[in-house]
């Protein structure tokens, strides 16, 4: 394996699942490092500085959410959670702690590989926040606070612009309702998520080709929203 290939850290205590995930990573030309506990995973993350972390939540020494919180103190590496916990509240806890995406067990190898590709693309785009962003027929220049659609200037209110920036600068990442409310409206308003639904609707009206069938500003039901630079083929209400 090429030493310049992306390195993924797999933190999973079940050897069979770990082998399955590592095989999928090799199919994506990724190197893999393995850990079976939170302590071992944090140690390897600090020493090896991986490009991606794939994390189980049910680890033998501590909960995987603790791993995410400690990792986020010093690293912004993308984290994909693989867990049998399918309750929406559990997903929100992990995402609020700093996970980038969440895949519920059992999962197919095709979906796992697609999530890995998407997260590595997002990682490669980090640090490019001042560049021109383009999706569909929309161009956004964050440096100039300029939005154009099909060459025509689009006016956004300050709150609409702030919400778009949060989504646009985290492409492919699931942002929870609380995360978006905290960033745009402040923690004091985090429970008023009806504001968020209204403003997402406004952005879709202004920026999506078909606001009723958005292809870029996607809903993650019961959790939050995901911004997709490349058009999504799925329907998002």
- Which parts of 84-236 are beta strand (E)? 101-104, 132-135, 138-141, 146-149, 152-153, 174-176, 217-220, 224-227
Q: What is the pLDDT of residue 88?
A: 86
**pTM of the predicted protein model:** 0.65
Q: Are 33 and 24 in contact (CB under 8 A)?
A: no
Q: Which CATH architecture has domain 132-227?
A: Orthogonal Bundle (1.10)
Q: What is the pLDDT of residue 73?
A: 83
Q: What is the pLDDT of residue 74?
A: 83
Euclidean distance between CA atoms 66 and 73, whole angstroms? 11
Question: Domain ranges in the chain?
Answer: 7-125, 132-227
Handedness of CA 116, 121, 124, 126 (dihedral sign): negative
Q: CB under 8 Å to 233, separation ≥6 — which residues?
A: 215
- The HSE-up count of residue 158 (CA atoms within 13 Å, CB side) is 3
Q: Could you give the strand order of the β-sheet that contains 152-153, starting from the edge strand earlier in sequence?
A: 132-135, 138-141, 146-149, 152-153
Name the helix (H) or strand (E) containing 169: none
Q: Which CATH architecture has domain 7-125?
A: 3-Layer(aba) Sandwich (3.40)
Q: What is the pLDDT of residue 127?
A: 47
Q: What does the CA dihedral 76, 37, 57, 9 come to, rounded to 10 degrees?
A: 40
pLDDT means per 10 residues, the chain with 237 residues, are 84 94 91 96 93 95 95 87 88 90 90 88 58 86 82 88 90 91 84 89 96 95 90 55
Q: Are 82 and 55 in contact (CB under 8 A)?
A: yes
Phi/psi of residue 31, nearest 5 degrees: -85, 155
Q: What is the pLDDT of residue 237?
A: 58
Return the closest-CA partner of residue 68 out of 91, 95, 86. 95
Return the closest-CA partner of residue 164 out of 88, 214, 216. 216
Asked if 7-125 and 132-227 have one fold, the answer is no
Q: What does the CA dihedral 197, 199, 200, 203 come to, rounded to 10 degrees?
A: 160
């Amino acid at each position: 394996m090429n030493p310049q290939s992306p390195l993924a850290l797999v933190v999973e205590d079940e050897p069979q699942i770990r082998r399955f995930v590592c095989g999928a990573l090799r199919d994506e030309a990724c190197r893999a490092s393995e850990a079976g506990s939170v302590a071992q995973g944090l140690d390897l993350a600090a020493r090896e500085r991986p490009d991606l972390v794939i994390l189980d939540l049910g680890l033998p020494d501590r909960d995987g959410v603790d791993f995410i919180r400690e990792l986020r103190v010093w690293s912004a590496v993308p984290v994909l959670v693989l867990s049998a916990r399918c309750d929406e509240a559990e997903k929100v806890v992990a995402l609020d702690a700093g996970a980038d995406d969440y895949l519920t067990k059992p999962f197919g190898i095709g979906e796992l590989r697609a999530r890995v590709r998407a997260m590595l693309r997002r990682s490669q785009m980090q640090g490019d926040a001042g560049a021109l962003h383009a999706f569909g027929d929309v161009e956004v220049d964050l440096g100039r606070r300029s939005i154009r659609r099909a060459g025509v200037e689009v006016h956004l209110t300050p709150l609409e612009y702030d919400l778009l920036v949060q989504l646009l600068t985290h492409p492919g990442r699931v942002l929870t309702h609380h995360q978006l409310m905290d960033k745009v409206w402040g923690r004091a308003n985090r429970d008023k998520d009806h504001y968020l639904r209204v403003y997402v609707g406004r952005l879709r009206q202004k920026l999506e080709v078909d606001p009723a069938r958005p292809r870029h500003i996607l809903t993650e039901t019961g959790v939050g929203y995901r911004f997709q630079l490349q058009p999504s083929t799925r329907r998002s209400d």
